[in-house]
Structure 1
């Protein structure tokens, strides 16, 4: 892979089974493993392509928007890049440290408080203890949750989880940011702050892969838009 390439998909497909959770189940990973050898054979009618034979590259510093209807494969594509799930076939190469802004707060431990979850989540994103300590005040201030940092996150609202998760990710020194519909939730003040932060990432030449149903907003945040439908790319 070229040194200026951040992400490359080479003939990537992902098969799921209908009626089961699509992300991270052992059953689906077994399906993925065994399907690698029989994609050309007839498939079980309960299986479907969430991603089908995708090949593309994203350069370092590029901002790419993923646009399409529900079920088009946008979120599945992000999870493949983040290695939350594995492809059924094909290869994915990633060059750089990833900050997945996907289901923000989903990785928090409910019994730990805000401070403790910053350390845990920051470590997951590849930050050292020293980096987390250095940026702790910035993370807390950005989240606006200063009065709740000693509260267990199981008592947080979904909006509070979003604020904390986004703040941790945005302060990590990642190279690649995967952003899934986060600007569709939260109050208007936080949406604006998030949008401004994304623009700052662009100015810093970070690589962004952004999912949204809002084409107008995607156009403002990205250099290029990829349209997906039923797991395949649509030609412009």
Structure 2
């Protein structure tokens, strides 16, 4: 049984020396959105998530919507344990895999093969388990000899292929995806959709942040809307009105 629950979770970021630089630019650079809560000397406090509560269990598939900077990525990272709340509690039970921004978790100086092992270990695999997934990843990515080269030589689409293949080479109980279907040619996107459908069917909890109404309707059963760090559940009818 998998579980992912937030109880009154608030996440805040201090921004230092904001008077020496445009505060707006710093907030945009952080990519968290949120609201400026306080100012003390040279420190501004941005609340990226405010008092967020929900509970997900087996069979839940959640679509996250909201404008850029509304808190979707922050929420996903908090779900994954990357960001810690300043107040409230995050409860997580079950194996977890993520597909976030391009290059996350990779060492760009290492080869594709070396990064497969590296990311496998970060996901809790043994070296043997990570090596066992190499053939599947070779076939899915179609990167060929590029897997022997440093990832820094890859295009963004090639990097995303490798990340997506690695994240979906296991069958996690909790799967978190941050807008990843916009890269690659039509043939690869169809492969990604097919693989994702299989993975969603096998996972117990799925959370997907996307601007695509079509994909949200296809993959998700519930919709959470974020606005300046405040979360509420909405009907699917809202998708066509954004």
Same fold? TM cut 0.5: yes
Moved more, 13-22 or 154-163: 13-22
Q: 1:207 to 1:104 in 2, by over 3 A?
A: farther
TM-score normalized by structure 2? 0.83
Q: Give the aligned partner of residue 139 of structure 1.
A: 137
Q: 1:209 to 1:123 in 2, by over 3 A?
A: same
Q: CA-to-partner distance for each residue in 1:113-161, whole Å, 9 max, x for gaps?
A: 1111100011111122222222210011111112211111111111111
Q: Give the aligned partner of residue 229 of structure 1.
A: 227
Q: How many residues align?
A: 216
Q: What is the distance in 2 between the residues matched to 1:44 and 1:190? A: 48
Moved more, 209-218 or 105-114: 105-114
- Does 2:39 align with 1:44? yes
Note the C-alpha offset of 1:5: 4.9
Q: Give the aligned partner of residue 97 of structure 2.
A: 99
Q: Give the aligned partner of residue 9 of structure 1.
A: 6
Q: What is the distance in 2 between the residues matched to 1:169 and 1:150? A: 19
Q: Where do 4+ consecutive residues of structure 1 move more than 4 Å?
A: none
Q: What is the distance in 2 between the residues matched to 1:118 and 1:128? A: 12
Equivalent positions of 1:77-156 (< 5 A) are 77-156=75-154
Structure 1: gaps of 5 or more residues: 24-41
Instruction: Name the structure with the higher strand share.
Output: 2
Q: What is the distance in 1 between the residues matched to 2:233 and 2:89? A: 22
Q: 1:206 to 1:140 in 2, by over 3 A?
A: farther
- Whether the 8 Å contact between 1:104 and 1:166 is mirrored in structure 2 is no
- Whether the 8 Å contact between 1:80 and 1:87 is mirrored in structure 2 is yes
- Does 2:207 align with 1:209? yes
- Whether the 8 Å contact between 1:127 and 1:172 is mirrored in structure 2 is no
- Does 2:191 align with 1:193? yes
TM-score normalized by structure 1? 0.85
- Whether the 8 Å contact between 2:72 and 2:226 is mirrored in structure 1 is yes
Q: Give the aligned partner of residue 161 of structure 1.
A: 159
Q: What is the distance in 1 between the residues matched to 2:200 and 2:152? A: 33
SS at match of 1:216: helix
